[in-house]
Amino acid sequence: MLIDFHTSILPYFHTMYLIAGLGNIGSEYEGTRHNIGFEVVDLLASKQGVKFVTDRLASVAEISFRGKTLTCIKPATYMNLSGKAVKFWLEKKKIPLERLLVITDDIALPLSRLRLRGNGTDAGHNGLKSIFSELQTDQYPRLRYGIGNDFPRGMQVEWVLGRWREEDLPLIKIKNEKAVQVVESFVYMGLERTMNDYNKIEITL
């Protein structure tokens, strides 16, 4: 029996996803608002009992989820060069843009919100600027994790690079779990369905 190469091999390419959590490497950045992308992919991997290992331009964890393979990365390039790691792993794994999901902090959203989008501008976020610079497109899905903007005028950098307030931590724990659900739904149910299910939810204690 002859096997058609294209029909037999094609499904395997369609089961690969790249989940990129943005952040900065180094202990001084752990637990900061800007590193929430790292925290979400850490939780995603730990739920599956998978550990990150150091690899090219990133820490990498490979997860099998409902018949699909998720390559999770935490870029080791620092935030401003995140695009280098994203581009490398997209090309290495031959993953199409619609199966890339970037997880990033967003001061334009309140702490109670997560928002999944299929595309969008960088809105001044240096990690997203770097990804645009490398990919030359903003047509890829991203999960925006609201960190709020409760900072005095001129203190945006300190807010973004600051650690969560003690009173926010219980909510962050719940929200991180919700963010992992969004990632899993994106992979299993698709972009549109997941946007409809999660974008309007208010996450509260």
34 labelled catalytic? yes
Strand partners, 54: 59
Task: Specify whether the CB–CB gap between 102 and 143 falls below 8 A.
Answer: yes
Pairwise CA distance, residues 122 & 130, whole Å = 9
Pairwise CA distance, residues 98 & 48, whole Å = 23
Closest by CA position to 186, among listed 21, 43, 19? 19
Pairwise CA distance, residues 159 & 71, whole Å = 30
b/e per residue 142-166 (b: at least 16 CB within 10 A) = bbbbbbbeeeeeeeeeebbeeebee
Active site residues: 34
